[in-house]
Structure 1
Amino acid sequence: MVQEIALEELLERIRSGQHIAVDVRSPKEFEESAIPNSLNIPVFNNEERAEIGTLYKQVSPEAAKERGLELFSRKLPSFINEFKAIERPFTVYCWRGGMRSKTAATVLGLMGIETTRLTGGIRFYRQWVVKQLEEQEFGPQYIVLNGYTGSGKTTILRKLKEMGHPVIDLEQLAGHRGSIFGQIGLKPNSQKQFESQLVEEMEKLKNEPFIFIEGESKRIGKVLIPSLLFDKKEAGKQIILHLPIEERVANLVRDYEPHKYPDLFLEAFQLIKKRLTPAMSLAIEEHMEKQEFDAVAELLLLHYYDPRYKHSAFRNPERHIDIHANTTEEAIDKICDVVLPAIAQSKY
């Protein structure tokens, strides 16, 4: 008999670092939504799952099961070897704790490989994530990095994290930089994946007195920041970064690496060119075609991003602190020298 495990217990084991979850659904399902840090060892690949689903609907459940057994039996040796390579105890799961995870756990048990199966599958996990984002009390105060595009906010966040300070990096969780060019060179996450990873980060940091977070809009690419987080971020203390245009241009070109994806940048630009004058649009396109990306970045900052960048923190000086710096590195130093001591003394 396959031993089952409840979701809360599984998550505790995973967070201890001594356990791992294995998703036996198809790669497409795994990419759309999975328990963070899971492995994917599918019973059926995308094409096989589609074929079985068609048989189930158009012929009969029995025909689908027979075809499934035929397909699965061919890959048993490789399937089992993948599990043998796992060096930690593990739990298998599928969509609702049904046929695929039961089949995987049963076969592994017959081969002497111990495993457990997640009760309710990832459907239960998804319900838990939604509940957490609707009801969870997340205690830390928010220190929000704001500033015009190119101010190095993401770089500063990641440096602060390296230094051991509590950080939630929304752009990293979304797999998107939050601009019209933000998905280029990255692999954007689905809303479900974003929310799953966000809940895990919140769980890690729930007992911190404060967290650093970037002043994102409600939407990052195709994902939406849950109201629980967004509303509190909007009310948080704001750090307003002020860097010279030359540094901001350098930051953008370094972070976005447009020389690697010139065609994609030109394609993305078509989505915003109508918001610029015809003459400015033509000038930017000409610089793009010549791969003069410093010039492209500066024109976009001056004529597109800066005029549109508005934030409530600028209108409420009692809620923000200004950081003026010549470089991103200098801005980090000032945050460490000014903001962190003020937080420690409860003056900010």
Structure 2
Amino acid sequence: MNQNSIKLWKQQTLICKFKRNVTTSVLKERETTLDVRKVNYPYPGSVTDVIDIRSEDKYRCHHIPGAVNIPLINNVLKGKQILTSKSTDNSLMEFFTRKKSPSFIPLVYCDTGKWASKIGVLMAVEAGLDALYLLKNGYMTYTQQVLKDLQTLPMQFTFKVISGFTGTGKTFLLNKLSERGHQVLDLECLAKHKGSMLGLWYGETQPSKDKWQSLLRDALARFDPSKPVWVESESQRIGTLHIPPVLFEQMCKGDRFKIVLPKEERIKCSLRDYPYWIEDREALINIVRKLERYRGKEKVNYWISLIHSDRWEEFVGELLIEHYDPTYKRSQSKNKLTNNETQVFMEDQSEEVVNSTLDFLTGNTTYL
């Protein structure tokens, strides 16, 4: 047997031995000194600490917001979880012992709320805790609740939508609205993507589907339904992620404000918003080459020649007019997002013009 096989055999032997020695009846007997409270998500406000005892990989992929990771499960083999020797160390018990106090009531969760959570209970007993929360059905309960909330939460809100071609500063205006205290759902920030082929945030990866849905749910849950929520006009897909149907439908019903900015100003805004285009031109060229299927090899080669010769304003202008604008028009038409738009003309994005535009958007003044 090789070393990996021996290690796996030891791990399987360990958990089988544990299951034989610590049966369900024994666990129940030991639990009598511990107040074990099984709860659903959202969990009670009396929870002081949330502990994710799943593997480090699963925790990194996503977890309940605010949870710390003290893994009892560290390996995955053919889709099955294997309890390793880490399940016999004192990490979780030391955490319990260190934090122990009359007010300390932690919540522990694993994937399904079964064996790993049972081991957590045993360690809580041995650490002498008075009370412990367990999440019914584990992390699965949380993801199910997130999906349920995404079916109902969006219906509570009125959305106001900022639309306009690429380079008109839509995200910039959203940030300014947020600074003024207005409710803003920044989908591109949550998705780490600007919604186009060149839109992935530089040096970032998009969140997993579970994390994306959780981020959306948490953002919506913090909003006041009596006030509007500002959002940028988006296609239903942002990079590899999709806006949940109910949320997208509510966004489509919102009042729309189309920002109109001169081409020269759009070029300035684009160079401001995409500085890494200039900083990492090789990465940019590799992405631009993918546009051959849409714009043809000759056109793409011309754009690449502009990059090589540092003609950035000309390159951005070409990309906006020849690629981004037609793509945006098709997207808006496909999603029937072109009706009932109020056009908002901006000469530039100077402080005076921006403040005047924000005043108009929020109803503080008439638009001139």
Distance in 2 between the 1:82 and 1:329 partners? 53
Shift of residue 336, structure 1, vs aligned partner? 2.6
* Among 210, 230, 255, the residue aligned to 2:273: 255
CA contact (8 A) 1:156 1:328 kept: no
| 1:142 matched to 2:159 | yes
State the structure with more CA Rg.
Answer: 2
Q: TM-score, normalised by structure 2?
A: 0.76
The structure-2 alpha-carbon separation of the partners of 1:298 and 1:204, relative to structure 1 and needing over 3 Å to count, comes to: same
CA contact (8 A) 1:27 1:42 kept: yes
Q: TM-score, normalised by structure 1?
A: 0.80
* Among 164, 168, 183, the residue aligned to 1:166: 183
Shift of residue 314, structure 1, vs aligned partner? 7.7
Counterpart for residue 230 of structure 1: 248
CA contact (8 A) 2:154 2:220 kept: no
Counterpart for residue 54 of structure 2: 25
Shift of residue 84, structure 1, vs aligned partner? 4.7
* Among 321, 324, 334, the residue aligned to 2:356: 334
* Among 284, 287, 294, the residue aligned to 1:275: 294
Query: Which range moves more in the overlay, 127-136 or 231-240?
Result: 127-136
Distance in 2 between the 1:146 and 1:288 partners? 28
How many pairs were matched up? 324
Query: Which range moves more in the overlay, 84-93 or 215-224?
Result: 84-93
Q: Give structure 1 stretches of 5+ with no counterpart.
A: none
Distance in 2 between the 1:26 and 1:284 partners? 46
- Give 3-state SS (helix, strand or coil) of 2:161's partner: strand
Which has the larger helix fraction?
Answer: 1
Letter in 2 for 1:239: F
Distance in 2 between the 1:277 and 1:224 partners? 28
Distance in 1 between the 2:346 and 2:302 partners? 31
Counterpart for residue 108 of structure 2: 92
| 1:40 matched to 2:69 | yes
Letter in 2 for 1:6: V
Query: Which range moves more in the overlay, 30-39 or 86-95?
Result: 86-95
Letter in 2 for 1:188: Q
The structure-2 alpha-carbon separation of the partners of 1:146 and 1:43, relative to structure 1 and needing over 3 Å to count, comes to: same
Q: Give structure 2 stretches of 5+ with no counterpart.
A: 1-30
1:211-252 CA distances to partner (integer Å, 9 max, x unpaired)?
A: 100101010011111111111211211111112223322332
CA contact (8 A) 2:162 2:256 kept: yes
1:267-288 CA distances to partner (integer Å, 9 max, x unpaired)?
A: 2222223322433211221233
- Give 3-state SS (helix, strand or coil) of 1:96's partner: coil
Counterpart for residue 103 of structure 1: 119
Counterpart for residue 13 of structure 1: 45
Counterpart for residue 284 of structure 1: 303
